[in-house]
Amino acid sequence: MPIEWTGFGPELLLQIDRDRPEPLRDQLESALREAIRAGRLATGERLPSSRALARDLGISRGLVTECYAQLQAEGYLVTRPGAATRVAAAASAAASAAASAAASASASAAVRPRPAATAIARVDFRPGLPDVSSFPREDWSRALRHACRDAPAHLLGYTDPYGDRALRDVLAAYLRRVRAAAADGAHTVVCAGYAQGLQLVLRALAGEGVRTVAVEDPGDPDQRVIAATLGLGVVAVPVDEGGIDTGALAATDARVVVVTPAHQSPTGVVLAPERRQALIAWARANDATIVEDDYDAEFRYDREPVGALQGLAPDRVALIGSVSKSLAPGLRLGWILCPPHLSAAIAHHKGLADRGSPIIDQLALADLLRSGRYDRHLRGMRLRYAARRTALVEALRRHAPAVELRGLAAGFHTVAQLPPGTDEQAVVTAARRRSVGLYAMSDYRLEPRPGPAQLVLGYGNLTADAISEGIDTIADLLRGG
C-alpha cells in the first residue's frame, strides 16, 4: 500500500540543472520517470500538484502540466479531473520487482537470525514473543501526546547519548523498586533494546582489551553472532539445574560472561544462590564483567521474586533490560545499568551508533512509568500469561501426560521434555506439516552436547483456545508417536 500523504501536496526532490543544454521539460520528465523506476514513488502514490512542483522548481506551471500529460500518455501517471495525479499501477511493477530482489539479497546476507518463525503456522509456539495484541495503545498514545506537547525545544536537538536524564532517573527508580537493582540515573544508558545494549557493552569491553566472551549453553544464538561480528571469541559454558556452571566458567579465559540469572533463556532455571555468589566472586577475582540479561523478570508466577544480580555488585554487573517483553519488541527501547567505570565508554558507543535513542519515545516511556500505567499494564499481563500457562499445562495433561514441563515459574515460555528416544527435529518437522510451529532445544545449543529431547514452547502470543488447539493437533507427536 502506498503512503496516503494527507494535507498539503507532498514534496518531491527532483533535480533540474539550468546549465545543461537539455530542455527543462525533458529533464523534468526524465527525473520523474527515474523516480518511479527506482521505486522512490510507488504505485498509487500522489504527486505534488503542478502548482506546488512548479513553485518548488522555479519553473512555469504549464511546463509541469505538459510533463504530467506526457507521462500519463506513456502510462507512468494517472490523472482524473479534479483529483490528484498519481503513479500508475503498471509503471512501478518493474521497479517493485527490482526492489524486492534487492531486499531479499540483503536479507540473505544478514547475520544468522534467532530460530526462524514458522510463517505459515496456524498455531506458532515461537518463544520470545509477548502478546502484541495487548499492547496498551491508549496509554502509549496518551504518553506520546504528552511527550510531544511538553518536550522543551532544546530536547529536539542533538541530545545526550546517555539518553534523556528524566527517563534515566525514572528507570533507575523503577528498577530499584521492582528489581532491587543498585540503579543510578547517572550511569544508566538508554538503548534500542537488548540487542543494541549487548553490542554497546561488548564494544566498550573490547576497548578495554577483552577478547573472549562466555555465554550460556544452551542460550540465545544471537549472542554468539553479535560477539563474532565484534571480533570477539566465544566460549559456551554449560547450564544445568542451578544455572550456568561457574566452575566451568572459571576454567575459561573469558573476562566477560553473559547470563540470564532470573530465568535462564531458554531452560527457565533460576541461578542458584551459591552460583550467584560464585559468579560475583569470579568477576571480582578476575577483574571481569557480568552482563545480566534481565529480559522477562517482570513475569513471575508461583515462586519467590529474584532480585537482579546487579544489585549485589553494581561495579561488576552491566544489567540490560528492555520493553520487548513488557510492552512490545517493535518499540526498540531498552536500558543499560552500567558499571560506573564503563558508562562513559558505553554512552560513547551509543553516540557513535545512532546519536541517541528517539527522544519522544524516551519521554513517552518516562511518562508511562511515572503515571503508573506501566505497572497497571504489567499487572494485567501477568494474569493473562498465567491463564495461558494454565491452558498449556492442562492441554498437555489431557493429551500428552508423559511430557514434563520445566521452567514454568516465570516468563512466557517453557521447556517440554519429550519421552526418551523421541527425535526432536522429527517432531518439529512433522508439526510444521500440520501448521503448528515448534522450536527444538537443539536450535539453542551452541556445542553439540548430548541432552534430552526437548522443545522450547512460547505461549505469550497465543490465546488459551489456540494453545489447546495446537497441542491437540500434535498430541500424538508429543507422546512419541
Ligand X SMILES: Cc1ncc(COP(=O)(O)O)c(C=O)c1O
Cα–Cα distance, 198 to 215 (Å, whole number): 12
- Rounded Cα distance, 218 and 32, in Å: 54
Q: What distances in angstroms separate CA 350 from CA 108, 189, 209, 344, 435, one per listed residue?
A: 27, 8, 19, 10, 41
Distances, alpha carbon 22 to alpha carbons 64, 128, 303, in Å: 16, 58, 77
The residue within the footprint of ligand X, chosen from 193, 261, 339, 437 (CB under 6 A), is: 193
Min separation Cβ 7 and ligand X, Å: 34
- Exactly one of 322, 343, 414, 422 binds ligand X (CB under 6 A); which one? 322
In 3-state terms the chain splits into helix, strand, coil percentages (rounded to 5) of 45, 15, 40
Binding range to ligand X, per CB under 6 A, among 92-100, 141-149, 156-164, 187-195: 187-195
SS3 state of residue 406? strand
Binding region for ligand X (CB under 6 A) out of 8-16, 35-43, 190-198, 469-477? 190-198
Q: Decide: helix, strand or coil at residue 449.
A: coil
Nearer to ligand X, 333 or 478 (CB): 333
Q: Which stretch binds ligand X (CB under 6 A): 141-149, 153-161, 200-208, 322-330?
A: 322-330
Beta carbons within 10 angstroms of residue 432's beta carbon: 16
Within residues 282-321, the interface with ligand X by CB under 6 A covers 293, 295
460 binds ligand X (CB under 6 A): no
Residue 414 parent element (H or E)? strand 413-417
When the beta carbons of 78 and 258 are compared against ligand X, the nearer one is: 258
Residue 267 CB, shortest distance to ligand X, in Å, is 11
Contact assessment for residue 77 and residue 68, using Cβ atoms and an 8 Å cutoff? yes
Short-list 222, 120, 169, 182, CA closest to 436 = 120
Strand (E) positions, 376-476?
A: 404-406, 413-417, 436-437, 454-458
- The minimum distance between CB 386 and ligand X, in angstroms, equals 20
- Is the distance from CB of 458 to CB of 408 less than 8 angstroms? no
Q: Which helix (H) or strand (E) holds 137?
A: helix 137-150
CA dihedral 260, 261, 264, 270 (to 10 degrees): 180
Rounded to a whole number of angstroms, the minimum distance from the CB of residue 313 to ligand X is 20
Closest CB to ligand X among 260 and 468? 260
Nearest-approach distance from CB 266 to ligand X, in angstroms: 8
Sketch the per residue contact string, 111 through 140, with ligand X: x for CB under 6 A, - otherwise: -----------------x------------
Site for ligand X in 205-224 (CB under 6 A): 220
Binding ligand X (rule: CB under 6 A), the pick from 195, 210, 259, 347 is: 195
Q: Are 309 and 271 in contact (CB under 8 A)?
A: yes
Name residues contacting ligand X, limited to 223-262 (CB under 6 A). 260
Q: Cβ of residue 431: shortest distance to ligand X, in angstroms?
A: 21
- Least distance to ligand X, CB of residue 204, Å: 18
**Site size for ligand X, by CB under 6 A?**
13
For the chain, the farthest-separated pair of C-alpha atoms sits apart, in whole angstroms, at: 82
- Residue 213's SS3 state is strand
Rounded CA-CA distance 251/248 in Å is 5
Q: Return the ∠ at Cα 377 (arms to 374 and 378), rounded to 5°.
A: 90
Which of the ranges 92-100, 189-197, 241-249, 361-369 carries the binding residues for ligand X, by CB under 6 A?
189-197
The verdict on 265 binding ligand X (CB under 6 A) reads yes
Pick the closer one to ligand X by CB: 92 or 357: 357
Measured from the CB atom, the residue of 143 and 331 that comes closer to ligand X is: 331
Element (H, E) at 413: strand 413-417
3-state secondary structure of 245: coil
Pick 195 or 306: Cβ nearer ligand X: 195
191 is a contact residue toward ligand X (CB under 6 A)? no
Q: CB-wise, 162 or 412, nearer to ligand X?
A: 412
Near ligand X by CB under 6 A, which window of 22-30, 192-200, 274-282, 420-428?
192-200
| Binding letters toward ligand X, positions 325-344, x by CB under 6 A | ----x----x----------
Q: Least separation, in Å, of the C-beta of 9 and ligand X? A: 38
Task: Record the cell numbers describing residue 146, joined without a space.
Answer: 504528552
Q: Footprint of ligand X on residues 7-66 (CB under 6 A)? A: none
- Which residue number, 232 or 327, has a Cβ lying nearer to ligand X? 327
Burial pattern 159-184, b for ≥16 Cβ within 10 A else e, equals: bbbbbbbebbbbbbebbbebbbbbbb
The span of 67-75, 89-97, 191-199, 297-305 binding ligand X (CB under 6 A) equals 191-199
Q: Which residue has the cell 566477560?
A: 256
Smallest gap from residue 194 Cβ to ligand X (A) = 3
Q: What residue ranges bind ligand X (CB under 6 A)?
A: 128, 193-195, 220, 260, 265, 293, 295, 322, 324, 329, 334
